[in-house]
Amino acid sequence: MVRFSRSAGSRIPARSRSTTCRRKQARFRGISSALVAELERRAVALGAREIALLSTETAHRFYLARGYVDVGVPAGKFGTAASYPMRKTLGPVR
């Protein structure tokens, strides 16, 4: 789940996104990076200042490499061993 935050007191409705590339042919071609970059661009265009998400154990390093930080203790969710609460502060529209 991904949540966009406009400010500390208001929230844009939560939206769910999946950027997982499961097919081996699609992996390591930048597809997930492009999807996340577009999600962030659109969130900024909507006035969001922050994105909060729950990452799978598999995607955790992916999000860390894109500037997301851990904001809580991993917990079992969605049938996985762990789900990592993460956040990223967004910059201005480019």
Q: Which residues pair with 56 in a beta bridge?
A: 83
**Domain at 2-89: CATH code:** 3.40.630.30
Strands 2-5 and 50-56: antiparallel
**pLDDT at res. 30:** 81
Collapsing DSSP to helix, strand or coil, 29 comes out as: coil
**pLDDT at res. 9:** 44
DSSP summary character for residue 91: -
**pLDDT at res. 68:** 97
Its pTM stands at 0.69
CA angle 75, 80, 83 (to 5 degrees): 35
- The identity of residue 65, as a single letter, is A
User: For residue 93, how many other CB atoms are within 10 A of its CB?
Assistant: 8
Q: Give the pLDDT confidence of 64-83 residue by residue, as tens digits.
A: 999 999 998 888 766 666 78
Report CA dihedral (8, 13, 14, 20) to the nearest 10 degrees.
-110
Q: Give the pLDDT confidence of 5-61 residue by residue, as tens digits.
A: 554 444 444 444 444 445 566 666 788 899 999 999 999 999 999 999 988 888 899
